[in-house]
Amino acid sequence: MSQLIYFCGSMLGGRQDAELYARLIEKLRKYGTVLTDHVGDTTMTTEMMAQLEYGNEKSIHDMDMRLLEKCTVVVAEVTQPSLGVGYEIGLAVAAKKRILCLFRPESRNDSKPLRHKRCFS
Q: Considering only CA atoms, give the Rg of the chain.
A: 14
> Would you say 26 and 32 are in contact if contact means Cβ atoms under 8 Å apart?
no
Supply the pTM of this predicted model: 0.83
> Would you say 3 and 32 are in contact if contact means Cβ atoms under 8 Å apart?
yes
The tens digit of pLDDT for each residue in 24-69 reads 999 999 999 999 998 998 887 666 666 654 556 777 888 899 999 9
Q: Looking at the predicted structure, is the pLDDT value of residue 121 above 50?
A: no
> Would you say 10 and 84 are in contact if contact means Cβ atoms under 8 Å apart?
yes
